[in-house]
Amino acid sequence: MNVGAGALDTRALPVPSHIALFHRGEAELRDHALAFLKEGFDRPNEALFCFGEPSVGERLLRTLEESVGRDLSPEYRAGRIVVGQADPDVDRQLDNVIGPLEGFRASGFTLIRFVGIVAWDVPTFPPPEDFLWFESKLNELISDFRVIALCPYDVAHMPARAIAYGGLETHPLVVSGGVLRENPQFIAPDRYLRERLLRLPWLQGETSA
Amino acid sequence: MANGELGYAAVDLQRGAIAILDPDGNVTWADETWATEENETGLPGVPIGANLLDAYRSRGETIAQTIANAIVAVFDGRATYFEIEHRPNGENGSAVVTSVAALRGNRASAVVIHRGVGVRPAITARTPDVRPRSGELIGNAIERLTPRERQVLDFMAAGLDNRAIAAKLRIQYTTVRGHVRAVIEKLGARSRLEAVARAYQSGWVAKQ
């Protein structure tokens, strides 16, 4: 499916979905993520969830406001839009994702559009190995929710390990070069711990991630 | 490869570069350094958008031909991806390719189907398995865990998150959080997964 610079065709996606979006730089991220969120914004029965490092989610929300041309505080106060924050503690980060998803579900939204901006080996994010566990775990944990989770990976700035182990091995679907594809590199969560996480080079004595 | 499938991953993990090829062999995106280090001795720089296979076939060096062969193996469906290993080349700041391997499978459980040696033999095998270690670096850390913390560690090693552990042990979620933090701290790990890895490597948690 060619998604170009526009929105993903969510009607063609399974729900739930966990998708890695490979993009180059901010402009491409805005094209895809904003279009994805804006499409949901135009449908009142859908909820929007912007997630990332401190201030990143807020920035995404501000950009969305510019895109729709008005203040989104009413939707924010009503709980239709949530800005979530990453946490160096992976357990807290899981809580910061699952908690709002439960809230959306209780409010009866028919679809949750989640955009989680990925960071790698920074102090405000879980350590890389914990983040990979988190990404893999999400596949199990979102199974009870009507959510499409989009995880942008900036291939122009992130190290190969983040792309290879995270983007490619923990997402059943990827958008690469503007095309949505099934991902043959995906490793199911029940295998990922033993087949990947316990073999991570930097947990074998290598020092840098 | 069937039309429309995800392109092939050419990974150079040591250097931190990755390129994904479309079904025609064109680089659809790549790490900036991969694309721009044309003059780096021994390393295959290919501009974004260039045809990787053509680029290597046109070069006369043995290593370029080996890379081309690896790409062909991927295109023919005999390999899933290929990896390039290299190391710094002494004083002049350049690098030498030590091996090119075409592999089948994913990066967690790949089989080498062809390996070509570069300028120098590869020094290490690729991704090692989880090896039991003596635990000397951690001392008797496991003995400092309480029986409940050991139970929690077993569940962590099975991949369970805190909510699932709380449900298994029928205790409060916040209590599990406290146990997990204690396990990480007592094992001297920086993260949840590092604690789990140490538990496996030291033989504290049996491989299933």
- Per the CB < 8 Å rule, is B191 touching A130? yes
Q: What percent of chain A has pLDDT over 90?
A: 62
Q: Please give the average per-residue pLDDT across A21-26, as a whole number.
A: 86
Judge whether B180 is closer than 8 Å to chain A, CB to CB.
yes
Kind and range of the H or E run holding B35: helix B32-36
3-state helix, strand, coil split of chain B in percent (to 5) is 35, 20, 45
pLDDT at B118: 56
User: Is B133 inside any structural domain?
Assistant: no
| d(CA A163, nearest CA chain B) in Å | 8
**pLDDT of A173 over the 60 cut:** yes
Domain end point (choices B117, B150, B178) = B117
What CATH number should be reported for the domain holding residue B58? 3.30.450
Which of B13, B159, B177 lies closest to A160 in CB terms? B13
- Per the CB < 8 Å rule, is B200 touching A169? no
| d(CA B91, nearest CA chain A) in Å | 22
User: How many structural domains comprise chain B?
Assistant: 2
What is the DSSP annotation of A59-124?
Answer: HHHHHHHHHHTS--HHHHHTTSEEEEE--SSHHHHHHHHHHHHHHHHHHT-SEEEEEE----S-TT
User: Is B124 inside any structural domain?
Assistant: no
Distance CA A148, CA A136 (A): 15
pLDDT at A188: 94
* In a shared domain, residues B98 and B13: yes
What CATH number should be reported for the domain holding residue B168? 1.10.10.10
* In a shared domain, residues B85 and B154: no
Q: Please give the average per-residue pLDDT across A23-32, as a whole number.
A: 86
Say how many CA atoms lie within 13 Å of A206 toward its Cβ.
14
Judge whether A174 is closer than 8 Å to chain B, CB to CB.
yes
Residues of A in contact with B194 (CB under 8 A): 127, 129, 203
Q: What is the ipTM of this complex?
A: 0.89
**What is the CATH superfamily name and number for domain A15-202?**
P-loop containing nucleotide triphosphate hydrolases (3.40.50.300)
Judge whether B185 is closer than 8 Å to chain A, CB to CB.
no
Distance CA A81, CA A196 (A): 35
Q: Please give the average per-residue pLDDT across A6-33, as a whole number.
A: 86
pLDDT at A5: 44
Give me B2's structure tokens. Answer: 């069937």
User: Is B155 inside any structural domain?
Assistant: yes
Residues of B in contact with A159 (CB under 8 A): 16
Residue B86: which domain range? Answer: 8-117
- Cβ pairs A/B, distance under 8 A: 121
Judge whether B177 is closer than 8 Å to chain A, CB to CB.
yes
- Per the CB < 8 Å rule, is A127 touching B200? no
